[in-house]
Amino acid sequence: MKAGRAVAKKLVVGASGFLGSHVTKQLVADGHDVRVLIRRTSSTRGIDGLPVERHYGDIFDEAALREAMAGCDVVFYCVVDARAWLLDPAPLWRTNVEGLRRVLDVAADADLYRFVFTSSIATIGRSTDGPATEETPHNWLDRAGDYVRTRVDAENLVLRAYRERALPAVAMCVSNTYGPDDWLPTPHGALVSAAVRGKMPFYIDGAESEVVGVEDAARALVLAGEHGRPGERYIISESFMSARKIYEAACGAVDVAPPRYGVPIGVLAAAAALNAPIARLRRRDTKLTPLSIRLMRIMSRMDHSKAERELGWHPAPTADALADAARFFVSHRRQSAGERR
């Protein structure tokens, strides 16, 4: 531990995002001196009112990065472009890989105690012998699409910076996050928002995913800044839930009937196969693609016990976070309606 770390600042890069804003809140609540690096065009609703030092710039601005990291001992990197459906994947590669490369160049010279990188469970391999772990090598890149490829490449960049440049980096493989203050919202949060507003006529029968409460995920990142072992990956996911269970948990919290009918995922896959070439001809992005359907069911159940053992992380049931998300979406909708009147 380097001298003076107890009073050094904590930097959150990407603090305006869903996970980044919750990391910022928890650092402030823990009594840390917090600095954030955000773009001037970013919405700051998630961190407004917090006593944080704001720096402005983006991940391609070397001078802004160096200034933001100066005097900090831990950097929490929460920047990601998650638009897996883009017809042109160039923005994904630019942000998720090239932007990160610029940040790592600066971080390697910054004398950090920890660099906590927000990775994804999409970097974990599939397992046919029990739940996947951090040791399960990735084995489905041929079916993954550009978004997952950028996430795998990004994590590899971080771990290479640890091996070759002594960057004390920790990779946090975070699953789909749910909870309050999902202002944008996230793609999976938008589906919950639609369900609790009664705007989702059906759920996808056969869609399953690893899930975690956003506040628990943020706590894991904060713990990694203190106890994470450099060069290690940690699965940050609480449980494996079907789409039906997700909507039931959310809708039940606000006394709304969940989507009643389940459409088999195979039917959606067939519809996506027809929709994708039409979207390409029209040069319009669409979220209904064969890849998006594949990603709903390709990953294995995962074991997060390493994070429990090494970080002291103990997540609450994600159903609780889904209830919080539902209440937020309903409250936010009422607030917005009141402002329009």
The answer to the question of residue 107 being in a domain is: yes
Mean pLDDT for the stretch of residues 258-271: 91
The answer to the question of residue 255 being in a domain is: no
The answer to the question of residue 181 being in a domain is: yes
β-bridge pairing 34-38 and 53-56: parallel
Across the chain, mean pLDDT equals 93
| pLDDT tens, position by position, 87-111 | 999 999 999 999 999 999 999 999 9
Domain count, the chain: 1
The answer to the question of residue 43 being in a domain is: yes
| pLDDT tens, position by position, 133-189 | 999 999 999 999 999 999 999 999 999 999 999 999 999 999 999 999 999 999 999
Q: Is the dihedral of CA 239, 286, 264, 145 positive or negative?
A: negative
H-type helices in 70-186, by residue range? 90-93, 100-107, 145-165
| pLDDT tens, position by position, 304-335 | 999 999 999 999 999 999 999 999 999 987 55
Confidence at residue 190, expressed as pLDDT on a 0 to 100 scale: 95
Q: Which residues contact 305 (CB under 8 A, 6 or more apart)?
A: none
Dihedrals phi, psi of 223, to nearest 5 degrees: -65, -40
**Structural contact between residues 205 and 143, judged by C-beta atoms closer than 8 angstroms:** no
Q: CB count, 10 Å around CB of 33?
A: 15
Domain housing 10: 5-244+301-331
The answer to the question of residue 250 being in a domain is: no
The answer to the question of residue 280 being in a domain is: no
How far is C-alpha 28 from the chain's CA centre? Answer: 20
pTM of the model: 0.94
The answer to the question of residue 94 being in a domain is: yes
Name the percent of the chain lying above pLDDT 70.
95
The answer to the question of residue 323 being in a domain is: yes
Give the domain CATH number at 228: 3.40.50.720
